[in-house]
Amino acid sequence: MDPALFKADLEAKPAALRALADRLATDDPWAFLEPTRRVIFLGMGSSRYAAQVAARRLRAAGLDATAEYASTEGGFRYAGDDTLVVAISATGTSRETLDAVADVPRFVALTNDPSSTLAEQATAIVDISAGTEAGGVACRSFQHTLALLDALVERLTAGPSAEALVRRAAEATEDLLDRRDTWLPRCDEALRGGAGIYPMAPVERISSALQSALMFREGPRVAADGCETGDWSHVDVYLTKTLNYRALLFPGSRYDDQALEWLHQRGSTIVSVGGEVPGAACAVRFRHDDDSRVRLLTETLVAESVAAEWWITPSVIN
């Protein structure tokens, strides 16, 4: 992995998203689907984070859908051709994912490498189309996975256009990148020097918290843990009493106020992304951040950008 190339991968996001939007305008990547009663997503890490959001949206629309760890012992029950199994792996080589589908007669590979082992074994392939991530970190592929899963939800539920969403996300991403000088130094200053980074997001965008924490662990090797905002008051709040706590908040949960009450009471530092919250040391806004679907595809760029700076210059962490 290479921090300078990771930063370049981030800077290439808007162009990659626009290319994906152009593809979605002329080609439905899920056009091959047959009538579907049940959807099972399989993946690890970032792939599973993205799948969790899509599975929840499908359940909310009345479909039977779940996002499983590919490493689950005993696998899962394949219930026939009306079961859609989507195995997600950017590289197409994740051992756990390959093991999970080894005995599955029909599955779709959602991968960034259509020539990978996973793709070769699949019944159908959906290309993530994120290009080569030279930095070695799944950043564009994570964003594109979210977008293509949105396109799947659109097809199965007659939801809003994924193409339009991706174009708006490209504009939002470009806006953040173009204005880095105005927000990145302030976020850097607010987040460093604590006992780790603690992102939190509503369940509808839980992938943002989990992926953001992963970016700090994977790049600069900083302790970080992501949490759902409502659940935070039951599982993570305890750390605010003993740690120099740095919260990276993605607003939008009806339980934001509950978390903020504890954070303020215990003098924690808060950085908010995509919205203003009382008492935040820094609030990062971006174009179209009034649209929760755009937030989902865009907001992790803040954590990725801070992590990239810390990775390139490790001394700034202390």
pLDDT tens-digit readout, 87-143:
999 999 999 999 999 999 999 999 999 999 999 999 999 999 999 999 999 999 999
The pLDDT score that the predictor gives to residue 81 is 77
158 in the same domain as 208: no
88 vs 126: CA distance, rounded Å: 10
Read off the pTM: 0.96
Confidence of residue 315 (pLDDT cuts 50, 70, 90): low
- Whether pLDDT at 76 is above 80: no
Same domain, 197 and 105: no
Do the beta carbons of residue 202 and residue 277 sit within 8 Å?
Answer: no
Domain termination site, one of 167, 189, 208: 167
| Domain of 261, in residue numbers | 179-317
Q: What is the pLDDT of residue 1?
A: 83
Whether residue 257 sits in one domain with residue 158: no
Q: Which residues contact residue 140 at a Cβ distance below 8 angstroms, ignoring those fewer than 6 apart?
A: 9, 12, 13, 16, 130, 131, 133
Looking up tokens 């293509």, which residue turns up? 148
In a domain, 173, yes or no: no
Mean pLDDT of all residues belonging to the chain:
95
In this structure, are 151 and 263 located in the same domain?
no
Does residue 205 sit in the same domain as residue 303?
A: yes
Q: Of 167, 192, 217, which closes a domain?
A: 167
Q: How many domains does the chain have?
A: 2
The distance of Cα 137 from the centroid of its chain, to the nearest Å, equals 13
pLDDT band at 79 (very low <50, low <70, confident <90, very high): low
DSSP 132: -
Backbone angles phi, psi at 102, to 5 degrees: -55, -35
Domain co-membership, 201 together with 149:
no
Question: Which tens digit of pLDDT belongs to each residue from 134-145?
Answer: 999 999 999 999
**Percentages of the chain per state (helix, strand, coil), in multiples of 5:** 50, 15, 35
pLDDT at 314: 77
Report pLDDT digits (tens) over 5-34.
999 999 999 999 999 999 999 999 999 998
Same domain, 313 and 224: yes
- The verdict on 141 and 211 lying in the same domain is no
Q: CA dist 267 to 85, 121, 200, 239, Å?
A: 46, 53, 17, 12
Q: Which of 147, 167, 187 is the last residue of a domain?
A: 167
Q: How high is the pLDDT of residue 74?
A: 73
Q: pLDDT value at position 35?
A: 87
